[in-house]
């Protein structure tokens, strides 16, 4: 890889690294990218995966699960699983949605 080659200038190495990161972050050409159907695994996997992109409901599903207790410290969040982060956010969003609905009912 060009960015590992120490015989070329640092600017060229940085440019090559930046180009590779950009390609990894944007695997589909801009004119062919559709955020409603994007499937990172590739177009051939869309039929198999069967998941459709859509806006989430007002209340996020939690299936009765609660996140693990948050550990505070300098490395906060570093060791949290994606599930615990989702559950933390989903519970807070659901609580806020309930508060919004309560306030809306008081305004009427």
Burial 17-54 (b: 16+ CB within 10 A, else e): eeeeeeeeeeeeeeeeeeeeeeeeeeeeeeeeeeeeee
What is the tens place of the pLDDT at every residue in 90-99? 999 999 999 9
- For 32-74, how does the pLDDT look when each residue is reduced to its tens digit (9 = 90+)? 888 887 776 656 666 676 677 889 999 999 999 999 999 899 9
Tokens 């390609």 locate to 23
Domain residue limits, the chain:
1-54, 57-108
Q: Could you give the CA distance from residue 84 to residue 91 in angstroms, rounded to a whole number? A: 10
């Amino acid at each position: 890889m060009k960015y590992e080659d120490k015989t070329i200038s640092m600017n060229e190495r940085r440019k090559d690294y930046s180009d590779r990161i950009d390609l990894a972050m944007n695997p589909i050409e801009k004119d062919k990218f559709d955020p409603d159907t994007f499937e990172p695994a590739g177009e051939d996997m869309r039929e198999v995966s069967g998941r459709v992109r859509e806006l989430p409901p007002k209340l996020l599903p939690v299936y009765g699960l609660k996140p693990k207790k948050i550990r505070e410290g300098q490395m906060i969040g570093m060791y949290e699983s994606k599930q615990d982060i989702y559950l933390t956010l989903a519970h807070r969003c659901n609580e806020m949605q309930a508060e919004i609905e309560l306030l809306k009912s008081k305004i009427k």
